[in-house]
Structures are given as C-alpha cells and as structure tokens.
Chains A and B, each alone.
Chain A
Amino acid sequence: MHIYVFGSLCRGEIDTGSDVDLLAIVNEFDKRLSGDTFSIYSYERIKKLWQEGNPFSWHLYAEAKMIYSTNYKDFIVGLGKPNKYDQCLVDCNKFFYLYCDALDAIKSGSNSQIFEMSTIFLSLRNFATCFLLGTEGNGNFSRRVALQLGNKSVKLSREAFTILEQARILSIRGKGEMITRKSIDNYMDEIMSIQIWMEELLNEVTNDS
C-alpha cells in the first residue's frame, strides 16, 4: 500500500475551506480505508492513468507527496512522467456540456441551486485545467486555474468566483454559510458569460486539433 497527500495542502492554497486530499494505492479492497477519507485506486489503474496521460496522472505527478509505503519505495516517483495528454477536446467538451446542463437547471428554477452552482464551479475548474494541459502541456491544478490563464482567463469578478467556490465547498464538504437565491441572482449574468469563454477556448482547441 502507498499513501499520498495531494491537492491544496501541497500547493500551499490553504484556507478555512481546505481539506486534506489523500490518495491510497492498493492491490485489493482494504476495509481499513474509508472512501470518505481516501481516493482509492489500484496500482493497475494508476499505471493506466499514466499511460493515458490522464489529467489526474499529471495532477499527482505535479503534487503528490508520499506519506506511507509498505515497501519504502515511492511508487509514483517510480512511474516517471505521464504520457502526453491528448484528450483535451473530448474533456473540454465534456465539461462544457456539464456547465450547460447546470446552467439550464438554474435557469429553469431548479430546487437544487447550490448543487448546480457547485457543478458550474467543477466544470469551470476542470475545463481550464484540461485546456491548459492540452494546449500548453502546463499542469495547473489550482482551484483558481480559470483565473490564471493570462489574457485567456475567465472574466469573473472575485465575488462571483467566490460564490461558486462557496457552493462547491457546501456541496462536497458540507461547510460554510448557505447561499441565498438572491445572491445567486446577483451574479447570474457573470455566470452565464462563462459559456462564451468556454466556446472561445473550445474553438481554439478545435482549430489546433
């Protein structure tokens, strides 16, 4: 078994909403490992992610720090660099559709507004991560990556971004102050503008591929 820490703690992006992301790599089911605490993967699956050049492999390659190993060797370091990521168009489309579904749900008066806002945050972050990794081979796994693309960054105010992030933390960690419908309405124009940003970057990826 190998256990790693990765995520915000390793990036130094610590705040009150931060959690500790733990990865366990195992050979078989281990009842001591709770899925609430660990992302649990088999060795074979991790190797396959490396072969595919999957964004998660690049994420682990960039950040994972080993904290326990049964054989004293660092399995991830031993894998070396993942293969080139070549699914940028597919993945960006996937997160674009995820965003569109969530936006449609909010516009049609969904009773699960926080979940939908959280889904928009997820699609925004993952879209930006995949775009950057696919177009520049640059791995940035920050929660704020969509704001860190230079002149290609999403045009969102800090307040609008914060409310999306707040929804994500409520949805995943059950922490934080509840967001009112009024607050969501206040930022709807900005949230809807994410679609144009995604379409522009998708065009760029399509033309490159």
Chain B
Amino acid sequence: MIHEFNNRMSIQRTVLEIINDKKYQEELCGLSSKAIDRWIAINGLNCESDTCKIVYEISGKLFFLANKSQDCISDEYEMLSAEITNLCSELTIIQEHDV
C-alpha cells in the first residue's frame, strides 16, 4: 500500500509538473506559500490570475492534508484528493490556453 505521505508528495509532483511545463524565468520549487510567493514575485505574475489562485488553493488543501499526515486514509482525505485532482485538470487547461 502506498503510504499517504508518499501519495501527498506524488500529488505535489503532479501539480509542479503542470506548472513548470510552461517555461517561467524561475521554476516553482514547492507548494509552500513562501515558495509560491517567491515564484510569483520573480516571474512578475499577477497573483490574482487564475493560475496563481489555483496554485494557492491546492497549496492550502495540501497543507490541510499535511496536518493530517499521521492519520490513516480517511473519507476526508479521499475527498480532498479528488478535489485536488479536479484542480489539477483545471490548471492544465488554463496553462494550455494561457500562452
């Protein structure tokens, strides 16, 4: 069984791969709010853009999961994972169209 912690890291990997697929001056290094703040500042992005809002939203949800890191997989976790998967799909579409 894949441990929940490893699963959460894998979700982060997926999100970062979607974002970093587009060539920014500096890649997004992580999904902590401080890493996102840096990425927005260095790349001169609009923090109100759809991309930035979704990235912050995913970060918030993952953080919630992080605080539950020692727990077994629960319904709450399954629900949040599904929400993040939907946000990733949305992010992919935005990235593809926002040339």
Q: Do A and B bind each other?
A: yes
Binding site for B on A (CB under 8 A): 35-36, 39-41, 45, 48-49, 52, 54, 56, 94, 97-98, 101, 105, 110-116, 118-119, 167, 170-175, 178
For the complex of A and B, 9 pairs with smallest distance between CB atoms: A171-B30, A174-B38, A174-B34, A111-B20, A112-B16, A114-B29, A174-B35, A170-B29, A171-B29
Chain A residues contacting B37 (CB-CB under 8 Å) are 174
Chain B residues contacting A40 (CB-CB under 8 Å) are 67
Binds A, one of B5-13, B45-53, B85-93: B5-13
Is B6 a contact of A45 with CB atoms below 8 Å? no
Is B32 a contact of A174 with CB atoms below 8 Å? yes
Smallest distance from the beta carbon of A132 to chain B beta carbons, Å?
Answer: 19
Q: Scan B12-25; emit 1 where CB is below 8 A from any A CB, else 0.
A: 11001100110000
User: What's the dominant secondary structure at chain B's contact region?
Assistant: helix
Is A172 a contact of B27 with CB atoms below 8 Å? no
Is A36 a contact of B27 with CB atoms below 8 Å? no
Q: A128 CA to B15 CA in the complex, in Å?
A: 28
Number of interchain pairs (Cβ within 8 Å): 85
Q: A175 CA to B37 CA in the complex, in Å?
A: 10
Is A172 a contact of B35 with CB atoms below 8 Å? yes
Closest to B5 in A: A94
Q: Scan B55-80; emit 1 where CB is below 8 A from any A CB, else 0.
A: 00000100110010010000000000
A56-B29 in contact given A111-B20, A174-B34 (Cβ < 8 Å): no
Is B26 a contact of A112 with CB atoms below 8 Å? no
Is A111 a contact of B17 with CB atoms below 8 Å? yes
Closest to A48 in B: B70
Chain A residues contacting B17 (CB-CB under 8 Å) are 110-112
Is A175 a contact of B34 with CB atoms below 8 Å? yes
Is A111 a contact of B27 with CB atoms below 8 Å? yes
Is B3 part of the contact surface with A, judged by Cβ < 8 Å? yes
Q: A39 CA to B67 CA in the complex, in Å?
A: 7
Is A112 a contact of B28 with CB atoms below 8 Å? yes
Chain A residues contacting B67 (CB-CB under 8 Å) are 35, 39-41
Chain A residues contacting B12 (CB-CB under 8 Å) are 115
Q: A56 CA to B71 CA in the complex, in Å?
A: 13
Closest to B35 in A: A174
